[in-house]
C-alpha cells in the first residue's frame, strides 16, 4: 500500500461560487477500507448539514452548499489528484480544495493552489514537508502532525535526561513519514538516533538485536502485529530486564489502518507478550470519549445504513471522519466571515489567513489552528499499570497549551519493567562496548596501574621494533623473489596475430570502429594465464635493465588490491618479449562505453563512473607509486559487473620512451600533480560523451591541441563545457581540476568527498550507506543499479519464460533445479476446437488462417487471464487449458474451468473472422475432472505436458460435443454441483473411445442471480452523475 496512512483517501473538496453565493463541493474518496466513501462520506454530509443549519438559523450569512461525491485510486499511476484539481479549477471555476487523499497528490495540489491563490485544506495529511508555509502559502490542515508525535518522544526523553535512542520502523505508509519526522525533531534537539529499518533485516529478532547494540531507549513505529513480535523478540533476547524501555507510536485506535496493537493474540505466547509489554509505553493522539463523540458515531452509522446500505458491529475509528468534518467546518467559518466583510471569497490568501490562529468547536471538542495553519493537537502516554490484567492507562499528557511539555497524571506513574525503581540509563555505565575504561574502577590501585601501563608500553615498543624489522626482512625477501616475474611461455595467446585496436580499447579485446581524430593503432594481445583471461601489453624495447627502483615498483604493484584499480598480474623481462600483464575486463574501456550511442547513461550512472575514477585515483595517489601517470578514458576499463577500474598505471621507468596521446598540460611541460587535471578531462568526457577536448572546430588534430596547450595561452586552452548538459557544481569541479596552477587543483581525496556531496544533492535516499555497502559486497546489485536496460531485458526474459511455463516450474528451472514429474489427484482439463475448421481453412489462404487463429487465441488468452487456469497448448484449432496444477487449489479448479468455458463460448458468439465477416464462428468444448501426471519434457524447447487417462477423456468429451455447447463428464458435474452456481442439462449416455457408455451433461451457464458474484475483476470506476446532490 503506497503510503498507507496518508493515502487514506479523504476528501477533495472543490468549491465554486456563483453570483448567488452558491457553493459546490466535490468530495473525492479512496478505495481502501476505512478511507472509502462508506466511512468518510457521512462525515461530509453531517458537516454540510451543520453549515446549512447555521445558515437557516441566521448564524451564517446566506449561501448554499452542494456536494458531489467521487472516488479515486491513490495507488494508481499517473496520480489523479492534480489532474482533478486542474479540471475543476479551469473548467468549473472552483475556489477551494479539501484533500486530496494521497501525500504525493496533496503536495502537488497544494503547490497548484498556492500558484492559483486558492485555499487548500486537508483533514489527514501529516507529512513534515507540508509544514513549509513559505512554499504552501494557502495550505491549512486539521489533521494531527507526525512531528507532533515526534515532539512527544523528545519531551519524554528530556524528562528522563536521555540523549540517545534506537528507532525501529517500517519504511512504508505512515511509518515512513513518522521516521522522517522523528529524524528531524531528534536532530534539532541534539539526540543521537540509531535507525534500524525492518526492511533491511530477515527477521524482527535481528532488527531488535541490532537496535539493542547502540540503544537502551528503543522507539518503534510499525503495525501492531509487528510490535508484538518485536516485544517477544526483546523478551527472548533478555531485554525485559529493567535496563531497556520501549516506546510504541500508535497515532489512534484503528485496527484497519494500524492493525491490532494488543498483546493478546490468543496463542501460546500471550503470557510472554503480556510480560514483555510491561516495558512498553504507547504514545498516541488524545481522542476525547465525550457524549458528542458517541452522537457523532450514531449519526455516521445512521447515514451509512440509510444512504449507503452499510452496517457493521465493529468499533471502527472515527478519527479521520472527525478531522475531515472539522476541515469543512473551518472552511465554512472563513467563507462566512469573508461574505460578512463583503470581501472576495476567491482571495485564497485572505481566506487562509482567516482559517489560521483561531479556535472553533469541532466534532471531538475544541480545535486550535496555529498561526502557520497546522492543527495544534494534544498527545498522551499509556503504560501497563495493571500487570495482572495487562491493562494500559494514561500516565502522562503533552498538552498543546503547555507547549507539549511532559505532564504526569495525578496518582499515576510509569511502572518500570522488571521491578526497576526508576528509568533506565540511555547507555551502559561502561559504554556499549566497555569502551569507558574508568567505569567501576576500584580505589587505591594507582601505583599498580602505572606499573602495568609502563610495562605494557615497554613490551609494545619491543614488539613494534621486532615487527618493523620482520616486515623489512619480509619485504626485502618479496622484492628479491620477484613474484611479479612471468615466463612468456606461460601465456597462452587467444590468437597468434596481434589484434589491431584503437586507443579506446587498448586494454581490452574488442576492437572499435571509431575513427576519431584521437585514434592511433597499437598492438595488444589477449591470453590465458593460470585459467584467467589477461591483456598483454608489449613494450617496444629490445633489452630492459631491471633497477632497484623498478623492482620495488613492480613488487608494490603486484600487491595492489582495490575495487577501482585493475589488478597487475606481472611482467616479462625477456629480450624481445618485454611486456606487462593485467587482468582482462570484458565490457571495454570507458571511452568505448561513452562512444556507444545505444547505451543510455543517466546522471546517476555518470556520477557512479566519476566516483569510481576518483576512488581509484585516490588509492594510487596514496600508494607507493604516488600517481597514475597516464589517466585517460582509454585507461579506465569496465569489468563484467560494470565496475570501473583504472589500468595502465605506474611502470614509468619500465615503459620509458613510449609516446602518450592524452595527458595533462604540465606533463607536457615537465611539471607535477597531473592526476587531478587528467581526472577533470575524464569528467568532461563522461559529461559530454565526447573525446578529451570534445568536438572543437578550432583544433582538429592532436598536434594542434598539444601545441595550443604548450603555448600557455591566456586564458589557458581547455575543453569546452556545455552548460545545458552539465550542472554548475560539476562544471566548477572540472574547471578547478584544469587550473593552470597545480596547487589550485583539488586533491584526489577532495574529489572523492566532493562526489559524496554531489550524490547527496542528487536526492539519494536515507539508505545510501546501505546501498554503498551493497555496491562493494554485491556486484550483481551494482549491475542492476547502473543499467536499467539490463533489468528491463531480464524482466522481458522472465515474462517470456512465464508465458511458456507455469511460474512455479519456471522458478525451479531458473534456479537450475530439475522439475520432477508430479501426480495431481484431481484437476480439471478443458478441450475445445473450431467446428468445420477444415472447411474454413480450405476457403482461406495460409496467411489468413494464421491471422484468424492469432486473433481468436489473443481473445481467448485475454479471457483466461481472469481465471486461475494454465493454457497447456494450442495445436491448430485445438485449445487445451487445465486448472489445479502446478499449484493445487482444492476443488476450485472445476469452477474456474467451467466459468472460463462459459466466457469463451459467449465471446465466440460475437467474434468476427477478419477476412470473412459474414461467417459465424462456432466452438465446441469438453470438460473432465480426474488425476494426471504433469512434468517438463525436453531440454532444448521444454514443454510442460500432462499425461493420463483424464486428458484422453477430456479430449473425447470435446470430440463428441456439439457446436456451441460445452459437454461435461459426470465426474466434473459432481464437483461443480457443490458450488450451486451452474446450470446443467442431461445429455444422456454416449459412447466414448475406450470407455464405453458414459453419462454426460451440457453446461448451460451460470445461475443468473449468482453470476455477478463470480466476476473475477472490476474493470471500470463508477462515478455518480455530476448533478447528484443531497
What DSSP line would sit under 656-676, residue for residue? Answer: TT---SS--HHHHTT-S--HH
Q: How far is CA 610 from CA 594, 633, 693, in A?
A: 13, 11, 17
The closest alpha carbon to 486, from 520, 532, 549, 432, belongs to 532
The Cα–Cα gap between 683 and 694 comes to: 12
**What homologous superfamily does CATH list for 13-143+291-369?**
Response regulator (3.40.50.2300)
Phi, psi (rounded to 5 degrees) for 514: -65, 135
CA distance 332 to 327: 9
Q: Which residues contact 289 (CB under 8 A, 6 or more apart)?
A: none
DSSP string, 743-766: GGSPPHHHHHHHHHHHHHHTT--T
Q: Which three cell numbers stand for residue 954?
A: 477430456
Secondary structure of 820-872 as H, E, C letters: CCEEEEEEEEEEEEECCHHHHHHCCCHHHHHHHHHHHHHHHHHHHCCCCCEEE
**8 A C-beta contact, residue 595 and residue 726:** no
- In contact, 801 and 814? CB cutoff 8 Å: yes
Asked whether the beta carbons of 483 and 559 are under 8 A apart, the reply is no
Task: Report helix, strand or coil for 984.
Answer: strand
**CA–CA distances in Å: residue 881 to residues 538, 878, 900:** 64, 10, 10
Strand pairing category for 94-98 and 965-969: unpaired
Query: Inter-axis angle of helices 446-481 and 548-558, to 10 degrees?
Result: 110
- Give the pLDDT score at 507: 38
3-state secondary structure at position 873? strand
Q: List the end-to-end C-alpha distance of the chain, in Å, as a whole number.
A: 32
Element (H, E) at 225: helix 224-236
Q: Which residues, 6+ apart, have CB-to-CB distance to 1030 below 8 Å?
A: 45, 67, 307
pLDDT tens digits along 583-598: 998 888 888 888 877 6
Nearest to 136 by CA among 463, 333, 372: 372
In terms of pTM, does the model score above 0.75? no
CB–CB of 292/388 below 8 Å? Answer: no
Task: Locate 342 and state its grid cell.
Answer: 463583503
How many Cα neighbours within 13 Å face the side chain of 10? 36
Give per-10-residue mean pLDDT for the chain (1030 aa): 33 45 70 75 87 89 76 75 83 79 82 90 80 88 80 89 91 79 85 90 92 92 90 93 90 72 88 92 78 78 85 70 88 89 87 91 85 86 88 84 75 85 87 73 52 84 84 72 82 61 38 35 70 86 78 83 88 84 87 78 79 88 82 86 84 68 46 70 83 57 71 73 71 80 82 77 40 44 60 74 74 75 91 89 89 89 90 87 89 92 91 88 92 82 84 90 92 90 90 84 78 42 34
The number of C-alpha atoms within 13 Å of 393 and in the hemisphere containing its C-beta is 14
Length of the chain: 1030
- Asked if residue 139 lies in contact with residue 97, where contact means CB atoms within 8 angstroms, the answer is no
Cell 615487527 sits on residue: 467
- Report d(CA 848, CA 913) in Å as an integer: 9
DSSP symbol at 400: G
Report how far residue 326's alpha carbon sits from residue 874's, in angstroms, rounded to the nearest whole number.
Answer: 61
Q: How far apart are the C-alpha atoms of 258 and 226, rounded to whole Å?
A: 10
Q: Is 112 within 8 Å of 86 (Cβ atoms)? A: yes
Q: Which CATH architecture has domain 488-764?
A: Orthogonal Bundle (1.10)
Question: How confident is the model at residue 829, as a pLDDT?
Answer: 94
Nearest to 834 by CA among 929, 928, 905: 905
Q: So what's the pLDDT on residue 448?
A: 61
Q: How far is CA 71 from the centre of its chain?
A: 26
H or E element, residue 733: helix 728-737
Domain 817-1014 has CATH 3.30.70.1230: yes
Q: Strand 391-398 to strand 379-386: parallel, antiparallel, or no bridges (unpaired)?
A: antiparallel
Helices 204-213, 224-236: crossing angle, 10 deg rounding: 60
At 807, list the grid cell: 511460474
Rounded distance, CA 597 to CA 966, Å?
Answer: 56
Give the separation between CA 650 and CA 747, rounded to whole angstroms. 19
Give Rg (Cα) of the chain: 38
Please give the Cα distance from 406 to 398 (Å, whole number): 5
- Give, for 143, the enclosing helix (H) or strand (E): none
Cβ burial, residue 792 (10 Å; 0-12/13-18/19+): exposed
Q: Ramachandran region of residue 375, left (φ > 0), alpha (ψ -120 to 50) or beta?
A: beta
Cell of 338: 469573508
Considering only CA atoms, which of 976, 962, 886 is closest in space to residue 928? 976
Instruction: For 15-35, give the secondary structure using H, E and C.
Output: EEECCCCEEEEEEEEECCCCC
Q: Name the phi and psi angles at 780, rounded to 5.
A: -65, -40
Q: Give 131-145 pLDDT, tens digit per residue.
A: 888 899 989 988 877
Q: Please calculate the CA angle 83-84-89 and round it to the nearest 5 degrees.
A: 100
Question: Distance (Å, rounded) from C-alpha 398 to C-alpha 151?
Answer: 9
The grid cell for 739 is: 587550473
For 892, counting Cβ atoms within 10 Å of its Cβ (0-12 exposed, 13-18 middle, 19+ buried), the class is middle
Residue 131 dihedral angles phi and psi, to the nearest 5°:
-75, -15
**DSSP H or E run through 992:** strand 982-992
Provide CATH code, domain 146-250+253-286+379-419.
3.40.50.2300
pLDDT of amino acid 90: 84
Q: pLDDT at position 1025, please?
A: 38
Q: From CA 35, how far away is CA 321, in angstroms rounded?
A: 8
Q: Using CA atoms in the order 554, 555, 559, 563, what is the torsion angle rounded to 10 degrees?
A: -10
Among the listed residues 433, 747, 748, 492, the one whose alpha carbon sits nearest the alpha carbon of residue 612: 748
Is 101:74 a contact under the CB 8 Å cutoff?
yes
Beta-carbon contacts of 463 under 8 Å, excluding residues fewer than 6 positions away, are none
Q: What is the pLDDT of residues 777-792, one digit of tens each?
A: 444 544 556 667 667 7
Phi, psi of 655 (to 5 degrees): -110, 15
Measured between alpha carbons, how far is residue 914 from residues 845, 892, 906 in Å? 13, 36, 18
Q: Rounded to an integer, what distance in angstroms lies between the CA atom of residue 488 and that of residue 539? A: 13
**DSSP single-letter state for residue 314:** S
Amino acid at each position: 500500500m503506497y503510503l498507507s496512512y496518508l493515502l487514506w483517501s479523504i476528501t477533495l473538496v472543490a468549491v465554486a461560487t456563483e453570483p448567488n453565493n452558491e457553493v459546490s463541493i466535490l468530495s473525492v474518496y479512496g478505495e481502501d477500507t476505512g478511507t472509502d466513501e462508506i466511512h468518510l462520506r457521512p462525515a461530509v454530509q453531517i458537516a454540510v448539514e451543520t453549515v446549512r443549519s447555521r445558515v437557516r438559523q441566521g448564524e451564517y450569512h446566506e449561501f448554499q452548499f452542494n456536494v458531489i461525491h467521487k472516488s479515486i485510486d491513490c495507488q494508481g499511476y499517473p496520480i489523479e489528484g492534480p489532474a482533478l484539481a486542474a479540471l475543476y479549477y479551469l473548467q468549473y471555476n472552483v475556489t477551494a480544495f479539501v484533500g486530496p487523499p494521497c501525500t504525493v497528490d496533496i503536495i502537488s495540489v497544494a503547490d497548484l493552489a498556492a500558484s492559483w491563490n486558492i485555499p487548500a485544506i486537508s483533514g489527514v495529511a501529516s507529512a513534515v514537508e507540508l509544514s513549509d508555509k513559505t512554499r504552501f502559502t494557502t495550505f491549512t490542515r486539521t489533521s494531527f502532525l507526525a512531528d507532533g508525535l515526534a515532539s512527544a518522544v523528545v519531551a519524554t526523553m528530556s524528562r528522563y535526561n536521555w540523549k540517545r535512542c534506537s528507532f525501529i520502523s517500517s519504511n512504508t505508509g505512515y511509518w515512513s513519514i513518522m521516521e522522517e519526522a522523528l529524524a528531524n525533531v531528534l536532530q534539532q534537539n541534539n539526540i543521537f538516533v540509531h535507525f534500524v529499518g525492518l526492511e533491511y533485516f530477515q527477521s524482527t529478532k535481528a532488527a531488535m538485536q541490532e537496535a539493542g547494540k547502540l540503544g537502551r531507549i528503543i522507539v518503534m513505529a510499525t503495525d501492531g502485529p509487528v510490535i508484538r513480535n518485536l516485544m517477544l523478540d526483546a523478551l527472548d533476547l533478555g531485554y525485559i530486564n529493567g535496563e531497556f524501555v520501549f516506546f510504541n507510536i500508535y497515532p489512534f485506535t484503528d485496527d484497519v489502518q494500524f492493525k491490532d496493537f494488543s498483546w493478546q493474540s490468543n496463542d501460546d505466547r500471550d503470557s510472554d507478550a503480556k510480560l514483555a509489554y510491561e516495558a512498553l509505553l504507547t504514545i498516541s493522539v488524545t481522542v476525547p470519549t465525550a457524549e458528542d463523540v458517541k452522537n457523532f458515531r450514531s449519526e455516521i452509522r445512521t447515514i451509512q445504513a440509510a444512504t449507503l446500505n452499510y452496517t457493521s458491529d465493529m468499533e471502527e475509528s472515527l478519527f479521520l471522519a472527525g478531522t475531515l468534518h472539522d476541515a469543512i467546518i473551518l472552511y465554512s467559518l472563513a467563507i462566512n466571515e469573508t461574505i460578512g466583510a463583503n470581501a472576495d471569497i476567491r482571495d485564497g490568501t485572505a481566506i487562509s489567513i482567516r482559517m489560521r490562529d483561531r479556535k472553533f468547536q469541532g466534532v471531538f471538542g475544541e480545535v486550535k489552528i496555529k498561526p502557520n495553519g497546522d492543527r495544534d493537537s494534544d498527545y498522551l502516554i499509556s503504560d501497563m499499570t495493571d500487570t495482572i490484567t495487562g491493562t494500559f492507562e494514561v500516565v502522562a499528557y503533552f498538552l498543546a497549551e503547555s507547549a507539549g511539555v511532559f505532564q504526569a497524571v495525578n496518582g499515576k506513574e510509569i511502572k518500570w519493567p522488571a521491578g526497576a525503581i526508576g528509568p533506565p540509563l540511555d547507555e551502559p555505565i561502561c559504554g556499549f562496548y566497555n569502551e569507558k575504561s574508568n567505569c567501576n574502577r576500584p580505589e587505591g590501585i594507582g601505583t599498580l596501574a602505572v606499573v602495568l601501563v609502563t610495562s605494557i608500553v615497554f613490551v609494545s615498543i619491543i614488539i613494534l621494533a621486532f615487527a618493523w624489522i620482520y616486515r623489512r626482512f619480509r619485504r626485502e625477501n618479496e622484492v628479491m623473489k620477484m613474484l611479479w616475474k612471468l615466463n612468456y611461455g606461460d601465456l597462452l595467446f587467444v590468437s597468434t596475430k596481434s589484434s589491431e585496436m584503437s586507443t579506446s580499447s587498448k586494454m581490452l579485446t574488442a576492437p572499435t570502429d571509431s575513427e576519431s581524430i584521437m585514434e592511433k593503432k597499437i598492438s595488444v594481445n589477449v591470453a590465458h594465464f593460470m585459467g584467467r583471461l589477461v591483456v598483454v601489453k608489449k613494450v617496444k624495447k629490445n633489452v630492459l635493465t631491471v633497477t632497484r627502483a623498478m623492482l620495488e615498483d613492480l613488487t608494490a604493484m603486484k600487491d595492489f588490491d582495490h575495487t577501482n584499480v585493475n589488478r597487475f598480474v606481472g611482467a616479462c623481462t625477456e629480450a624481445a618479449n618485454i611486456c606487462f600483464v593485467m587482468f582482462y575486463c570484458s565490457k571495454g574501456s570507458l571511452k568505448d562505453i561513452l562512444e556507444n550511442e545505444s547505451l543510455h547513461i543517466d546522471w546517476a550512472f555518470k556520477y557512479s563512473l566519476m566516483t569510481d575514477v576518483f576512488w581509484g585515483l585516490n588509492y594510487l595517489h596514496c600508494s607507493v607509486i604516488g600517481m597514475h601517470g597516464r589517466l585517460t578514458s582509454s585507461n579506465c576499463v569496465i569489468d563484467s559487473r560494470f565496475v570501473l577500474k583504472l589500468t595502465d598505471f605506474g611502470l614509468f621507468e619500465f615503459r620509458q620512451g613510449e609516446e602518450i596521446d592524452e595527458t595533462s598540460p604540465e606533463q607536457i611541460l615537465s611539471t607535477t600533480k597531473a592526476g587531478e587535471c587528467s581526472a577533470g578531462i575524464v569528467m568532461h568526457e563522461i559529461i559530454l560523451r565526447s573525446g578529451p577536448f570534445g568536438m572543437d572546430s578550432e583544433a582538429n588534430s592532436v598536434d594542434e591541441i598539444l601545441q595550443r596547450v604548450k603555448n600557455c595561452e591566456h586564458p589557458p586552452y581547455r575543453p569546452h563545457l556545455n552548460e545545458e548538459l552539465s550542472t554548475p557544481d560539476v562544471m566548477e569541479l572540472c574547471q578547478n581540476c584544469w587550473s593552470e596552477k597545480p596547487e589550485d587543483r583539488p586533491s584526489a581525496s577532495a574529489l572523492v568527498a566532493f562526489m559524496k556531496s554531489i550524490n547527496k544533492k542528487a536526492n539519494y535516499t536515507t539508505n545510501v550507506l546501505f546501498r554503498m555497502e551493497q555496491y562493494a559486497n554485491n556486484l550483481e546489485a551494482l549491475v542492476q543499479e547502473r543499467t536499467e536496460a539490463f533489468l528491463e531485458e531480464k524482466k522481458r526474459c522472465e515474462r517470456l519464460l512465464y508465458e511458456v511455463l507455469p511460474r512455479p516450474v519456471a522458478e525451479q528451472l531458473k534456479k537450475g533445479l530439475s522439475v520432477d514429474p508430479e501426480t495431481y489427484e484431481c484437476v480439471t482439463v478443458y478441450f475445445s476446437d473450431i467446428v468445420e475448421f477444415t472447411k474454413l481453412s480450405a476457403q482461406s489462404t495460409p496467411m489468413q488462417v494464421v491471422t484468424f487463429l492469432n486473433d481468436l487465441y489473443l481473445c481467448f488468452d485475454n479471457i483466461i487471464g481472469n481465471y486461475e487456469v494454465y493454457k497447456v497448448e494450442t495445436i491448430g484449432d485445438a485449445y487445451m487449458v487445465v486448472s489445479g496444477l502446478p499449484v493445487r487449489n482444492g476443488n476450485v479448479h472445476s469452477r474456474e474451468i467451467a466459468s472460463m468455458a462459459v466466457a469463451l463460448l459467449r465471446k465466440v458468439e460475437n467474434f468476427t473472422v477478419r477476412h470473412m465477416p459474414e461467417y459465424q464462428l462456432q466452438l465446441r468444448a469438453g470438460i473432465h475432472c480426474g488425476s494426471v501426471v504433469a512434468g517438463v519434457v525436453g531440454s532444448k524447447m521444454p514443454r510442460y505436458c500432462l499425461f493420463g487417462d483424464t486428458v484422453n477423456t477430456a479430449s473425447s468429451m470435446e470430440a463428441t460435443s456439439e457446436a456451441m455447447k460445452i459437454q461435461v463428464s459426470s465426474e466434473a458435474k459432481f464437483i461443480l454441483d457443490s458450488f450451486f452456481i451452474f446450470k446443467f442439462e442431461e445429455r444422456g449416455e454416449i459412447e466414448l473411445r475406450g470407455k464405453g457408455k458414459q453419462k454426460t451433461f451440457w453446461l448451460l451457464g451460470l445461475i443468473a442471480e449468482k453470476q455477478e458474484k463470480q466476476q473475477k475483476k472490476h474493470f471500470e470506476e463508477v462515478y455518480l452523475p455530476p448533478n447528484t446532490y443531497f
